[in-house]
């Protein structure tokens, strides 16, 4: 292998290589996401969505509402198949698009930090429109369709609900609120990446690892958890998304909701406080996702490498 060319005695940067998207990486992402959502992920998602849809409820009120709706199983409403579809596909979509976008942004001469954020934002955008839009819509429908049950009638099943929306509203009904999902994902991944790096730099300064030494598992968890928790600043767009997808009936609500009209409606009904309903369980969700991806990442890596015989190169 020839030595890299030099310019005025300074070695030229290595040529930019396009990293292949490996099956082992996709399997790792899907497996960790499935574990996360099936354990604490979906209960926190249900609590967050219930609070965003019923903005007069506090956390305790939301928990009581969920329990009354179905006991322990009420906290897992929308898990099968919607949360499982979302969890198993979002890692693949996100990783593939983020990797491609990061490569092309670097090819235009952007530094690694900018390329990383750009890749994450592009991946989040693709994820929203490819699979996450209809999955979040159906999860929200499942969680907010309690009006039928309160009349004493048996609520329709998951697929019956899906087909009913499809017949009445078509693809637009199934993807209701997808633009809000896209805005949330883009701002979420961009800020989570950036804030995690800021937190990591602070931890390195505090622990004397500014020379690039490897962070421990708990240090990585702390940096990513801070990034995930602080990225909940965009909770208003999440509350807007839930309201757009909600089956809760309110005669005061505008008929054809857009992101703008939904914002105005929520603010007029509940003020700024209403726009941040559900932020506590969302922070908890961000922390739990981090624990799963970082703390369990090495264990999952070994397991996937044994199954596939392929070395996992994904970062976690």
> Mean pLDDT of all residues in the chain?
81
Tens-place pLDDT, residues 51-87: 998 898 889 999 999 998 889 999 998 898 888 988 8
d(CA 161, CA 77): 13
Q: What is the pLDDT of residues 150-178, one digit of tens each?
A: 555 566 777 777 788 888 888 777 877 78
The angle subtended at Cα 82 by Cα 78 and Cα 87, nearest 5°, is 115
Least confidently predicted of 61-75, 84-98, 223-237: 84-98
Distance CA 82, CA 123 (A): 20
Domain ranges of the chain: 80-206
10 by DSSP, 3-state: which? strand
Coil vs helix vs strand at 309: coil
Q: Is the pLDDT of residue 2 over 70?
A: no
Categorize the per-residue pLDDT at 228 as very low, low, confident or very high, splitting at 50, 70 and 90: confident
The dihedral through the CA atoms of 259, 262, 268, 270 has a sign that is negative
pLDDT for 254 beyond 80: yes
Listed ranges 9-23, 142-156, 263-277; the one with the highest mean pLDDT: 263-277
Average pLDDT of the residues in 107-126: 80
What pLDDT score was predicted for residue 147? 53
Q: Which has more pLDDT, 92 or 274?
A: 274
Q: How many CA atoms lie within 13 A of 132 on its CB side?
A: 23
Beta strand ranges found along the chain (DSSP E): 6-7, 10-11
Say whether pLDDT at 1 is over 50: no
Top pLDDT among 117 and 277 is at 277
- Tally the residues of the chain: 316
Q: Which position has the higher pLDDT, 127 or 48?
A: 48
For residue 46, what are the contacts with CB-CB under 8 A and spacing of at least 6?
Answer: 66, 74, 75, 76, 77, 78, 143
Quick: pLDDT tens for 191-225.
777 787 788 888 888 888 877 788 887 888 888 88
Greatest mean pLDDT among 201-205, 250-254, 266-270: 266-270
239 pLDDT band (50/70/90 cuts)?
very high
Give the pTM. Answer: 0.77
Looking at residue 196, what is its pLDDT? Answer: 79
Q: What local confidence, expressed as pLDDT, does residue 282 receive?
A: 92
| Statement: residue 88 has pLDDT above 80 | yes
221 vs 159: CA distance, rounded Å: 38
């Amino acid at each position: 292998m020839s030595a890299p060319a030099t310019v005025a005695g300074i070695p030229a940067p290595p040529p930019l290589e396009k990293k292949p998207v490996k099956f082992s990486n996709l399997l790792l992402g899907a497996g960790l996401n499935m574990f996360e959502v099936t354990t604490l992920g979906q209960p926190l998602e249900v609590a967050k969505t219930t609070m965003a849809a019923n903005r007069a409820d506090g956390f305790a009120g939301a928990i009581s509402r969920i329990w009354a709706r179905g006991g322990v199983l009420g906290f897992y409403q929308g898990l099968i198949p919607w949360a499982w579809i979302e969890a198993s596909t979002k890692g693949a979509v996100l990783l593939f698009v983020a990797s491609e976008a990061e490569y092309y942004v670097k090819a235009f001469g952007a530094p690694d930090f900018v390329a990383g954020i750009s890749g994450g934002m592009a991946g989040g955008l693709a994820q929203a429109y490819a699979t996450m839009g209809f999955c979040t819509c159906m999860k929200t429908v499942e969680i907010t369709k309690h009006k039928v049950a309160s009349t004493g009638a048996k609520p329709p099943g998951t697929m019956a609900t899906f087909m009913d929306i499809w017949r009445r509203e078509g693809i637009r009904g199934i993807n209701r609120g997808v633009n809000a999902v896209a805005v949330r994902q883009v701002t979420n991944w961009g800020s989570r990446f950036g804030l995690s790096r800021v937190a990591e730099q602070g931890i390195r300064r505090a622990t004397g690892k500014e020379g690039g030494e490897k962070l421990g598992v708990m240090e990585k968890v702390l940096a990513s958890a801070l990034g995930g928790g602080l990225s909940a600043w965009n909770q208003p767009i999440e509350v807007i998304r839930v309201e757009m997808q909600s089956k809760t009936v309110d005669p005061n609500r505008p008929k054809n909701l857009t992101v703008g009209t939904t914002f105005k409606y929520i603010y007029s009904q509940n003020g700024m406080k209403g726009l941040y309903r559900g932020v506590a369980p969302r922070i908890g969700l961000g922390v739990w996702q981090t624990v799963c991806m970082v703390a369990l990442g090495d264990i999952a890596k070994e397991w996937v490498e044994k199954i596939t015989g392929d070395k996992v190169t994904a970062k976690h």
